[in-house]
Amino acid sequence: MCRERPIAACVAVAALIWLIRYAAKFGLHLTRPPQWSHSFDQARYISSARALAHGNLDAAQHWYPLAYSLLAAPFSWIMPDEPFFLPDLALFAATLVGFVRVAKRLGASPVVATAAFLFATMLIGKTSRLWTEPWTISLSAPLIWFLVAQALAIAEPSPGRAPPGAREMVVFGLIGGALPLVRPTDGLMTILAGLFVAAALARQRRLRSGGLLWAALGGLALIVPYACLHLAIYGPHATDYARAAAAQGFAFADLPWKAYVVLITAAPWYPDSASLVDVLPWMLPGAAGMILAWRTGDAGARMAIALVALLAIPYSALFLAYTDLQPPGLWTFSNAHYFKWIFPFLGLGFWLWLRAFRDRRGAVSALAALLVVALPALIRPLPAPVPQHMPARMLMFRGATNRVWDSAYFAPATITDAQGSMVNVGRFHQVPDPYGERALAVSRLFAGPALRDDPGEPAPFRSAQQPYARYAVRLSFGLPCWFRHLRACRIAPPPAI
């Protein structure tokens, strides 16, 4: 079927699999609120969509940027309890179409690209949940892939090719202008893709001021009406969401450690959490497959890989530095959705990596590429005990060993150290431990002697408790803590009372 009408048939197959996954997880009871509608994020999406459908511009009804809710607003008249059902299905299909356009430049047919896409998005429940529950990035994902496809179409070198026309540049501007309206941070993608296109056109001597003007006009065609709606709701102020995200903050100095625990493995820092690679181990050979594609591909394939890397690496660094993104929330609260648009690209890379094993020479190249990708994982940031006067990444506290996970994780605990008071979840993350709780710094390191107050703990652990151990980060070289039985990956139990 996919061979006769490639894209349409593959989209139909993908949509069917999405529906099966949705029904298996939430059921198809479209006349009553689904399970996800009671979650913090999803409930706010729905309230905004309903408010926009009824012309309600009360700022209290709108938490997130408006573009995603605007898309669902008309459907709140059809399915008021589940207005994102049809939009999310359509956005999933649109993401596939944009991805197929890019994958074609790497020599992948629509069938292969669709198989890689579904492998990376729908194969396991944890990733399918990222696409079947409403998330703002469900709208960003197709826009990103269409932005990449349009940028490549404009920048593709060809002898004697004329400068891009008005239509091409307006479409590029429309897509680029839409991204920051979905999430302000996605404006980074627009800027990087715009610089890529401008540099490619300048190198080919096809850059014209008229083309840049058309692209700008395309972006403004969306930005101006959106700005008017924003002013009508919030006035000349940032949204509450933007202020909350800014207050949460970014810690770029923590990026190496953070990248390791989120991407490679959360052990031994977060005992009950899984990293991206813990759940999706094919990501590493997927990256290796893209190295092979760069080495053996033509100019079009290299340009596509370069552009995706140009967008994905700074984007990932930005979100990895976001202090609210920590391993416990990655899969428990589906915060892995930040990266879900990248998964199909690595899924395609995994297929390219496997394909290299058709002959001995290709197998050697594939294994060498995997070794290159896996080498950084051998540099392990492990906990090392430190005395009270030294900064610490993690503090260990005694506590009730039968405490419910959510009770410990969301507890209104505070830690007071030499630099002031820190509050759980926002400034540090408290997670259960076999002997009580451990606190991991997310906004700054713990400084000097520290005392914890946790009103949810029973006496004598409730207040003014000192940690029984303090740990800083020590770099070592060895097997990653995917193998949690390794001695280096264990943390000593507390001393006997």
CA 239 from chain centre, in angstroms, equals 22
The predicted structure's pLDDT at residue 152: 97
447 occurs within a structural domain: yes
Give the DSSP H/E element, type plus range, for residue 113: helix 110-122
436 occurs within a structural domain: yes
The predicted structure's pLDDT at residue 4: 46
186 occurs within a structural domain: no
Is the same domain home to 375 and 402?
no
- Rounded to whole angstroms, the Cα distance separating 302 from 315 reads 20
423 occurs within a structural domain: yes
Low-confidence residues in the chain, pLDDT < 50? 1, 4
Token readout for 407 is: 């009770």
Per residue in 46-94, pLDDT (tens digit) is 999 999 999 999 999 999 999 999 999 999 998 888 899 999 999 999 9
Is the same domain home to 302 and 400?
no
Is the same domain home to 361 and 268?
yes
Tally of structural domains, the chain = 2
Range of the domain at 411: 386-466
Tell me if the pTM is above 0.75: yes
Last residue of a domain, which of 352, 383, 414? 383
The predicted structure's pLDDT at residue 486: 85
Last residue of a domain, which of 338, 367, 383? 383
Last residue of a domain, which of 327, 361, 383? 383
Is the same domain home to 359 and 398?
no
- Rounded to whole angstroms, the Cα distance separating 416 from 422 reads 6
**Sheet strands side by side (includes 436-441):** 379-385, 469-477, 394-398, 436-441, 428-433
Helix axes 85-103, 343-355, angle to 10 degrees: 40
Is the same domain home to 280 and 357?
yes
Is the same domain home to 363 and 448?
no
Per residue in 202-223, pLDDT (tens digit) is 999 998 999 999 999 999 999 9
Is the same domain home to 272 and 396?
no
The predicted structure's pLDDT at residue 2: 57
